[in-house]
Amino acid sequence: MKTTMKLEGFRELDKALGELPKATGKNVLRKVGRKALEPMRADAEAKAPELTGHLKASVKIGTKLTSRQARQHRRMFKNDKASVELFMGPNDPAAIPQEFGWENGKAQPFMRPAWDAGKNDLLDNIKRELGDEIDKAAKRLAKKQAKAAKG
């Protein structure tokens, strides 16, 4: 399935982000990514089937993958030089058969419905939050530099 999107306003945000120190820029991107993914994470958690309670609790947002996931990710994106990557999903082996079904069990998808419901708002959330966070980071940096010059 192919999806096409038109992004507007991100060129200006990228330029403003480039004016921040690299570490500050990465922190801003992580913070914005977590905020933008949170509604989708909460929706996936709410839609996860009740098993032992571990599946719902395992739906997280983070920067780390399991070693198996990391190997697969490196193969898929070995030439990608993304500055920040966040991942959202369950860290429970039971998630795969629940999502897709198995020989003796019917699929009970919860991640795909959460993605379908939240994908359109995701970029809007990033765009809205990114401008605000860049402004806040720039103000904090200016205040820190003024204090250092004074002191």
State the total domains in the chain. Answer: 1
Look at residue 100 and tell me whether its pLDDT is greater than 90. yes
To the nearest 10 degrees (0 to 180), the angle between helices 22-47 and 111-150 is 150
Look at residue 53 and tell me whether its pLDDT is greater than 70. no
Q: Work out the average pLDDT over 131-138.
A: 92
pLDDT value for 91: 86
In a domain, 91, yes or no: yes
In a domain, 23, yes or no: no
Beta strands 59-62 and 87-90: pairing type?
Answer: antiparallel
Tally of CA atoms within 13 A in the half-sphere of 113 that contains its CB: 15
Helix H, strand E, coil C: the string for 55-123 is HHHCEEEECCCCHHHHHHHHHHCCCCCCCCCCEEEECCCCHHHHHHCECCECCCCCHHHHHHHHHHHHH
**pLDDT digit string, tens, across residues 17-51:** 888 998 899 899 999 999 999 999 999 999 998 87
Q: What are 62's strand-pairing partners?
A: 87
Q: Which two tokens stand for residue 8?
A: 């507007």
Q: Work out the average pLDDT over 58-65.
A: 90
In a domain, 1, yes or no: no
Please state, in angstroms and as integers, the Cα–Cα distance from residue 113 to each residue in 3, 5, 40, 51, following that order.
16, 20, 10, 18
pLDDT value for 134: 92
In a domain, 89, yes or no: yes
Confidence of residue 136 (pLDDT cuts 50, 70, 90): very high
Q: Which domain holds residue 98?
A: 31-129
Q: Which two tokens stand for residue 107?
A: 């699929």
In a domain, 144, yes or no: no
Confidence of residue 135 (pLDDT cuts 50, 70, 90): very high
Share of the chain above pLDDT 90, in %: 38
In a domain, 18, yes or no: no
Which DSSP symbol is given to 9?
A: S
